[in-house]
Structure 1
């Protein structure tokens, strides 16, 4: 589902800023998704919406997608953990 941030009060301005000049708030950070999530909460986005919006904002640009991938490179899915656990037995 696309982000609804541009539809919220002042959301279009925040959205435009986050996919443009505001990328410095999360691009290049060790944990870009977390940095963006905290930034959104700080600017009044409810936590339950900030999770999805952080992902949507990161996925909105090539630089954001690269940051998202870099920030998740060491994480394993639940499926990967299950398979590895079965192999150890």
Structure 2
């Protein structure tokens, strides 16, 4: 992460078009090898320095989709939701 942060900082004078091309390479080569936390840190670094270049990182939209799914599953797996499900299943079983 430190090396990426240094690299990104060294590109401050570079045009958005050229840097976007480099970020697309980062997106296809580097991001798939990183953990979720490291990807988040990369996105935060890009957002802090050049926020309009975030779309160059297409994996970020894929991760957003995964995070949305995870939030849905998290809501479904909360103890209160599971208790309601168990109660409904038990009531249905007793009705038979």
Taking structure 1 as the reference length, what is the TM-score of the superposition?
0.43
* TM-score using structure 2 length: 0.41
Higher helix share: 2
